[in-house]
């Protein structure tokens, strides 16, 4: 173990970015290439995928939220809770 040597992982801080896109809450959490994009509708996870960067998370979130927004989510119940 080399205590004096700094590894690239030690210099990269964990990041968490949260924003709203219409009625969806979007989170981008991670460090470098291990960043995960999650899209929520209320407390339900609607989509989750790895992304290479926060910039790509923004692009993918816009696509995902647009596609989800085109569907009628107001009358859907989560799986297992259908009336």
Instruction: Kindly give the confidence (pLDDT) of every residue in the chain, 83 residues in length, as a single tens digit, with 9 standing for 90 and above.
Output: 556 665 555 567 888 999 999 999 999 999 877 899 999 999 999 999 999 988 899 999 999 999 999 886 654 444 544 44
Q: Is residue 80 part of a domain?
A: no
Domain of residue 65: give its range.
Answer: 13-70
Q: What is the count of structural domains for the chain?
A: 1
Q: Is residue 78 part of a domain?
A: no
Q: Is residue 21 part of a domain?
A: yes
Q: Is residue 59 part of a domain?
A: yes
Q: Is residue 79 part of a domain?
A: no
Q: Is residue 83 part of a domain?
A: no
From the centroid of its chain, how far is CA 23?
Answer: 15
Q: Is residue 7 part of a domain?
A: no
The model scores a pTM over 0.75 = no
Cβ neighbours, 10 Å, residue 51: 19
Q: Is residue 32 part of a domain?
A: yes
From the centroid of its chain, how far is CA 75?
Answer: 24
SS3 label, residue 73: coil
């Amino acid at each position: 173990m080399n205590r004096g040597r700094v590894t690239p992982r030690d210099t990269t801080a964990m990041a968490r970015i949260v924003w709203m896109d219409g009625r969806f809450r979007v989170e981008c959490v991670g460090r470098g290439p291990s960043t995960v994009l999650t899209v929520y509708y209320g407390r339900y996870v609607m989509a989750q995928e790895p992304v290479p960067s926060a910039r790509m998370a923004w692009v993918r979130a816009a696509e995902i939220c647009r596609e989800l927004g085109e569907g009628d989510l107001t009358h859907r119940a989560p799986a297992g809770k259908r009336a």
